[in-house]
Chains A and B, each alone.
Chain A
């Protein structure tokens, strides 16, 4: 009787999960580049659709909560240094942090829904946070500019995905970025420009839920993109790190999709970081465990 045979799926995903660093892997691995190219070619798609954060732009091992704190520190410093508002110096980094978190919470929950989707947007987050801190509208531009500078400083280009994007463009295809993010498309473009101006040049369109309100997560952004580009679902090949928003939902919409997961080592480091962050905030009398995420 013949022996049973075992098949494993998704070699790219397994390669990524086992990598100590996806940034290094994307920089060095020929295997990853070839596999991405082969997957795109096999799909028969014309448009390469890329998730942005943790896909085209790779994050370091800091948790989201820690990044928010670091950003809050920078915004406070910027307001003090630029003398944008005299009250800034009297406020703590944690004041800025909690104001921002409340801004995110209110914006995401209360923004007018589109096709039953609710998404936050940076402009609203900034206004809500600024008001909670007793600051004037003149500081809004400092908040947003600092956020763009900070994000660019903690992101690295994904060389393997960028190579694929270049190859697609070279063959006459299109490259679009699709992000579930409170940042507007123009903010995402500004960040990409700062990280890698060459990469920014090959992008044809940026679609952000911050602008459109409909999202990948809810699965409603895909039809909107098809409508805007006047293409059918089979024209798209999407890559992203979220199993739900970047794989399941696009596949349900008829797109080809490839999972580009965060590596296990990176996920572990972020878990450890968020746990440490919660402890640090607890020591200051703040319970942030309801919102602090990896």
Chain B
């Protein structure tokens, strides 16, 4: 058993030798920010207590040793996140509810109520044993709308606290219009609440580190400064980013003793502050009670490695590498340093959570794997649970690093901004155009927006007005150095135009960017990078997923009508599948010039479908990979008069039909001529099977049409306004329910609502549309009476499927759930009792008939 001194030696040494240098560098950088805000921008520097207390202590120790100025008008902001949520209650109720709701989503309401009154104690007449408070606090809106005694008491408390908070902030800021919050990190939740509640103040934050999650509110992100790191994930080239994997190390270091700041109160002198502030200011930092921070302060008192920025940075860089190794790939010895650390759950809760769990079973079903999952520091728990040879590969996996990634020999790399001068461009982009300046202009912008710039862009004018094409190009905001215009003088056909353009330049890769299509900015970056990667070397071409864009040309310009995945089922590219149909557009296909040369380029005899023939011959000799991101936009004028601006696939349907047979016949001959009869036969069989499979796909498309109520697939209707009528509500319910049925793969329910005659038959098709339907957090579908009239029976059956597990659903975007619950407290009470899932459910099935109003947002 270690004695007290021995037990604190390792944390103290870790604090002095490792954290000391990195905190010194942090202090230097933090001071640069704080002084600049105070002196150049007349800002108020606020140390957000509790962590701000220790940060300020460290800053003062550093500044004294380094003989550097400190902010002269700094103050503490006595407020935890909970206090700020309380404080903005009157000004930003919805935001406060959102933050509180997230924290207590899995706790019973009685915990939420108790947390609100942790320090001052519950009001005398409040009974936490009220059965209504046993419900989960997942719907705080309903709780407050119910108007019960607990809700009233909490609401009153929050109103009082927010009144005090207003006065407190006004006093703290005085005439300052800018405030800098100094805290440990990481997502600036308090800052974003203050931003919203006090818009007259410009709120900045200087945090030890800043990183986000999918749920982070990023509206004020650029004003949240990660002084040491802003990496979103661990990057071994920047070892300080290891705090992403172990932020508790920094939080523990700067967390003083004393109570959490969760309320304000006027003092005897009338000054508003937190009654708990005094306990925090008594923070006892010595080797026995806070060995790690004591080590840091001792280092700051000496700064033995120098006081200049370079000396501080170099030592910090060395120590960050050591810390990163200890954090990312800890051994049992490394873990010992953090052995006794516990973290407070905060937010009004009195729970202390150990950083690492004891390596013994907590219950019958416990396991080392479960403890690793449940611990706050996964890599540390792995070190405790497993021998190093087992733990380390798993630790690497968690950090997403390879074997040499934390090597001291690793040198910083810089990606060259441009390729070697004089070298041939990597990519030739071929744009075929014919008197369509409106599209050409858009295509030029699409190419110019690429993040990858080592290309030559060849525009081939296939017999159109060349002066007009030149003028369009010269007026565009493009790098003209990279552009060639090939004037074919007469129309030679699409495939000939491609071949001429390709032969007019040199490159490693080729892509056809037709004048009416567009790319996302990273198309070339991602596709070139793939073909140059070790995996990409096995392929001669790569496609990305594509988006179908429906548009029309009007006198005022191009109008987009909708967009959605184009053949979103594509995951691989099979020759047999290609023989059934040409399922990807040229705009999404980058290929090697060497393969283009080997198969003799495009066959110029085809008036249409030349790209399909090319793809088939390409696949007969090589392979095409698929990148899952949708980076290519395949535009179609598929509405109204398609004669002038129509795509060949729309305007030349009869030619497509005729030549689809020619393309397939030629493929069979191509293979037969090369002695590949077996493959030719397989292709024939593949075509037959493909036709059968297509039948299945068409069935799914019908389902899609039913879901979406229109020509476009269901998933494309996100963002379309809900109409708010009863029919629209019914359609909303039907579509939500259908999505749930599909997500569950509940073929019985699907048959029950009349959407499949044979449940077994539908299963495979259901899986296909699953990806398109699930993942939409709140799909909003266009719904009109006309749509309903097409499929009234299925809609009615879906609406009638009002039972678990299909009862719960989010309300439509235009339904004001909060107002409905506020106006109808009986409904709110029913929700807290678990009798209803939402106000919208009540309105649709009961409230409307009872004459209750449908509140709209």
- Residues of chain A at the chain B interface (Cβ within 8 Å): 1-10, 13-14, 17, 87, 90-92, 94-95, 97-99, 102-103, 106-107, 109-112, 124, 127-128, 131-134, 243, 247-248, 251-252, 259, 261, 263-265, 267-268, 271, 274-275, 278-279, 282, 284-290, 292, 294
Contacts and interface: CB of A to CB of B under 8 A. Distances in A.
Nearest to B316: A285
Interface stretch (B1-9, B392-400, B477-485): B477-485
Contacts of B562: none
Contact of B413 (A1, A91, A289): A289
A128 B32 contact: yes
B483 A278 contact: no
In the A-B complex, the 7 residue pairs with the smallest Cβ-Cβ separation, listed nearest first, are A264-B421, A95-B308, A285-B314, A94-B310, A248-B477, A10-B480, A9-B480
A139 B32 CA distance: 17
A247 B484 contact: no
A100 to B, nearest CB: 9
Interface stretch (B62-70, B590-598, B625-633): B62-70
Given A127-B39, A294-B417, A7 B484 contact: yes
B803 interface: no
Given A6-B485, A247-B479, 13 more contacts: A2-B489, A4-B460, A9-B480, A10-B481, A109-B225, A110-B36, A110-B37, A111-B40, A128-B35, A252-B477, A271-B418, A282-B411, A285-B317
B490 A2 contact: yes
Contact of A267 (B29, B418, B477, B488): B418
A285 B28 contact: no
A134 B500 contact: no
Contacts of A268: 420-421
A243 B448 CA distance: 10
B278 to A, nearest CB: 33
Given A134-B67, A134-B68, A289 B414 contact: yes
Contact of B313 (A4, A128, A286): A286
Nearest to A124: B40
Nearest to B479: A243
Nearest to B473: A9
Contacts of B307: 134
Interface string B271-305: 00000000000000000000000000000000000
Given A9-B474, A17-B481, A279-B411, A1 B308 contact: no
B149 interface: no
B485 A9 contact: yes
Contacts of A94: 308-310
Interface residues of B, number: 61
Contacts of B37: 110
Given A132-B68, A289-B413, A106 B480 contact: no
Interface in B437-473: 448, 460, 470, 473
A106 B32 CA distance: 8
B313 A98 contact: yes
Given A127-B40, A133-B308, A4 B488 contact: yes
A112 B41 contact: yes
Given A259-B480, A278-B412, A5 B489 contact: yes
Interface of B: 28-29, 31-33, 35-37, 39-41, 66-69, 204, 222, 225, 237-238, 307-311, 313-315, 317-318, 411-414, 416-418, 420-422, 448, 460, 470, 473-475, 477, 479-481, 483-490, 492, 500, 504
Main secondary structure of the interface of A (DSSP, over half): helix
Nearest to B29: A102
A274 B416 CA distance: 10
Contacts of A106: 32-33, 36
Given A109-B225, A282-B411, A127 B36 contact: yes
A92 B422 contact: no
A274 B487 contact: no
A99 B32 CA distance: 9
B484 A286 contact: no
A265 B421 contact: yes
Contacts of B481: 9-10, 13-14, 17, 259, 261
B310 A286 contact: yes
A194 B422 CA distance: 36
Nearest to B308: A95
Contact of A98 (B310, B318, B474): B310
Contact of A131 (B32, B460, B474, B479): B32
A110 B309 contact: no
Contacts of A103: 32
A57 B226 CA distance: 37
Contacts of A275: 414
B270 to A, nearest CB: 35
Contacts of B313: 98, 286
A4 B310 contact: no
A111 B237 CA distance: 29
Contacts of B490: 1-2
A92 B306 CA distance: 11
A107 B37 CA distance: 10
28 contacts: A1-B490, A2-B489, A4-B500, A6-B487, A6-B504, A7-B470, A7-B484, A7-B485, A7-B487, A13-B480, A92-B308, A95-B311, A102-B29, A112-B41, A124-B40, A128-B35, A131-B32, A132-B309, A133-B308, A247-B479, A248-B477, A259-B479, A263-B421, A264-B421, A274-B414, A285-B317, A287-B412, A288-B412
Contacts of B417: 267, 271, 294
Given A13-B480, A17-B481, A282 B412 contact: yes
A2 B474 CA distance: 25
A102 to B, nearest CB: 5
A94 B490 CA distance: 64
A274 B417 CA distance: 11
A267 B421 contact: yes
Given A9-B473, A128-B32, A284 B421 contact: no
A1 B489 CA distance: 9
Nearest to B462: A4
Nearest to B503: A4
Contacts of B418: 267, 271
A106 B37 CA distance: 9
Nearest to A249: B477
Contacts of A259: 479-481
A110 B211 CA distance: 19
B633 to A, nearest CB: 21
B226 to A, nearest CB: 11
A99 B238 CA distance: 20
Given A17-B481, A132-B31, A95 B310 contact: yes
A102 B411 contact: no
A92 B168 CA distance: 45
A5 B487 CA distance: 5
Nearest to A266: B421
A243 B317 CA distance: 36
Given A110-B204, A286-B314, A131 B68 contact: yes
A105 to B, nearest CB: 8
A111 B500 CA distance: 53
Contact of B309 (A98, A247, A285, A289): A98
B627 to A, nearest CB: 27
B500 A132 contact: no
A234 to B, nearest CB: 14
A263 B481 CA distance: 12
A112 B225 CA distance: 15
Nearest to A93: B310
A103 B39 CA distance: 14
A61 B470 CA distance: 35
Nearest to A262: B418
Contacts of B475: 251
B102 to A, nearest CB: 29
B33 A110 contact: yes
A294 B222 CA distance: 25
Contacts of A278: 412, 414
A175 B420 CA distance: 36
B311 A92 contact: yes
Contacts of A5: 486-487, 489
